[in-house]
A = this chain, B = another copy of it.
Amino acid sequence: MKHSFRVMTLFAAIFALQSSQAAQPTKGESEVDYRQSLYTVIGGNFHPLGAMAEGKMPFNAADAKVRAERIAFLAPMLKEAFPADSNGVGHTAAKPEIWTDNVEFNKALQALIDRSAALVVAANSGDESKIKAAVQDTGKACKGCHDKYRVKE
């Protein structure tokens, strides 16, 4: 009993501050925030890979490997990031077709997952041209899905 109370106090404390920073978000708003955060972390790791592929940043095989592994770890987490109650909530750019055209959307998401797994294989080879080609393939999977399922602003 005493133990349970202590645990509850601990977790209340961890999440209390987050909640007090703004009005308590709804479940859908929290889901959108989680989804956008996941994309931000994926994008933040993809960005330097894109810059290497473009020649805007010196190629670094070790860094490319770390970034590739992160993207391949994070991409499958997107499968849980589109729950039904996050459709049309808040400042989302996610089109309703994600939910109404779910079979096609899942194929597009699977393409990202598959290509990011292939990116890791390329990154493990250390071969610059293979890595850059795999970055490009992964980028096409990003763009393919954005073009179809993200609102243009």
Q: Which residues of A contact B (CB under 8 A)?
A: 4, 7-8, 10-11, 13-15, 17-18, 20-21, 30, 33-34, 36-38, 40-41, 43-44, 46-47, 50-51, 53-55, 70, 73-74, 77, 93, 132, 136, 139-140, 142-143, 146, 150, 152-153
Residues of chain B lying within 8 A (CB to CB) of residue A150 = 17
Measured in the bound complex, the distance between the Cα atoms of B150 and A4 in whole Å is: 26
**C-alpha spacing A55/B10, complex, angstroms:** 13
Say whether chain A's binding surface is mostly helix, strand, loop, or mixed.
Answer: helix
Q: Is the CB of A10 within 8 A of B143?
A: yes
- CB of A123 to closest CB in B, whole Å: 16
Q: Looking across the interface, which residue of chain B has its beta carbon closest to that of A136?
A: B7
Which of the residues B53, B73, B153 comes within 8 Å of A17, measured between beta carbons?
B153
